[in-house]
């Protein structure tokens, strides 16, 4: 679905736009939830359920965007301000959905 050029121009260039449920989202979510550890591609595959052959491509694309880092066989989430703001945004939106669904205590 196209957007207007005004909306396109108004969007900050450094916004992290990763759709919930996609493979990059799932990998980032897993690595961010376990930010004190680094994992092999096989471990990322086992934890996320993403096909083994796809994990390497996803990690490489995330690395190109500076969202993950790696040394040797191990991968970890990067220290990137976009990730912190994205995590805050997704937690806030999921919290509001939960509040709306369950009501206040």
Higher pLDDT, 25 or 16: 25
pLDDT tops 70 at residue 15 = no
Higher-scoring residue by pLDDT: 85, 31: 31
Domains of the chain: 19-91 (1.10.10.10)
Task: Convert the pLDDT of each residue in 27-72 to its tens digit.
Answer: 999 999 999 999 999 999 999 999 999 999 999 999 988 899 999 9
The residue-averaged pLDDT of 4-8 equals 81
Place of tokens 């930010």: 35
């Amino acid at each position: 679905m196209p957007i207007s050029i005004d909306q396109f121009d108004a969007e900050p260039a450094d916004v992290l736009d990763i759709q919930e449920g996609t493979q990059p989202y799932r990998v980032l979510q897993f690595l961010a939830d376990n930010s004190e550890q680094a994992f092999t591609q096989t471990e990322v595959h086992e934890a996320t359920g993403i096909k083994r052959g796809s994990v390497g491509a996803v990690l490489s694309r995330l690395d190109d965007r500076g969202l993950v880092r790696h040394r040797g066989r191990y991968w970890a989430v990067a220290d990137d301000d976009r990730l912190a703001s994205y995590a805050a945004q997704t937690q806030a939106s999921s919290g509001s959905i939960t509040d709306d669904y369950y009501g206040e205590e």
